[in-house]
Amino acid sequence: MKPNDIRNMTAVEIEQKIASLKEEQFKLRSEMVSGRVERPHRFSAVKNDIARCYTILKEKTSEG
């Protein structure tokens, strides 16, 4: 996910995106435990997307 895509979202949409990414991260973690990970690279990508969303959300709330 590109930062510009996230910046075009509202704060509520970003929070919804964070929730869906955390759900996906949970599913990926449970796949890792069970040993049937199809896309292991996706785990780090989801983690980075969550951090990116939090950073942009913080920028939006500090602006006013």
| Model confidence pLDDT, tens digit, residues 2-47 | 999 999 999 999 999 999 999 999 999 999 999 888 888 999 999 9
d(CA 20, CA 47): 12
d(CA 14, CA 47): 15
Q: What is the pLDDT of residue 26?
A: 96
Specify the 3-state DSSP secondary structure of 37.
coil
Amino acid letter for position 5: D
d(CA 29, CA 12): 26
The CA-atom distances, in angstroms, between 37 and each of 17, 23, 49, 60 are 23, 16, 19, 35
Q: What is the pLDDT of residue 1?
A: 82
CATH T-level assignment (fold) for domain 3-63: Helix Hairpins (1.10.287)
Question: Is 64's pLDDT higher than 80?
Answer: no
